[in-house]
Structure 1
Amino acid sequence: MTLDELDLGQRAQVRAVTGRGSMSVRLLEMGFVPGVEVALVKRAPLGDPLELRLRGYHVSLRRAEARRVEISGVGA
């Protein structure tokens, strides 16, 4: 499962960042590293971008970027 598939209010743990290139590196730099808990806070009216909470701060990602983050342990 990937980060773009979360429903509002759901939490999960980052399992891995996939892909190559600068965007994957940037996601890791933003804190999307294995084991970190992330929650979906808001979704824009047309579904893009997503507002996520991790490590005590909020970050917005496009769905294409969120699709690079594999997650596990999805819960409320």
Structure 2
Amino acid sequence: MQLRHLAEAEQHIARGTQHISDQELRIAEFDFRGHDSTLARSLLETFRITQAQYVAHRDHILRELGL
């Protein structure tokens, strides 16, 4: 059961990393074109907070497994 949760946590982390990267590219494009990137930056911060939660959850699972 915990190994399945670990695999799911790793998938969430991988997807979160991609979301962050994609959003950073969007922000760079907005800035390059002179568009307001305020909302995009806010969303990026939300992605980063969520990513930290994913990592903390994964680390918790690893501790429970003794890894």
TM tier, smaller: under 0.3
Return the TM-score normalized by structure 1: 0.22
The structure, 1 or 2, with the larger RCO (C-alpha pairs under 8 Å, 6+ apart) is: 2
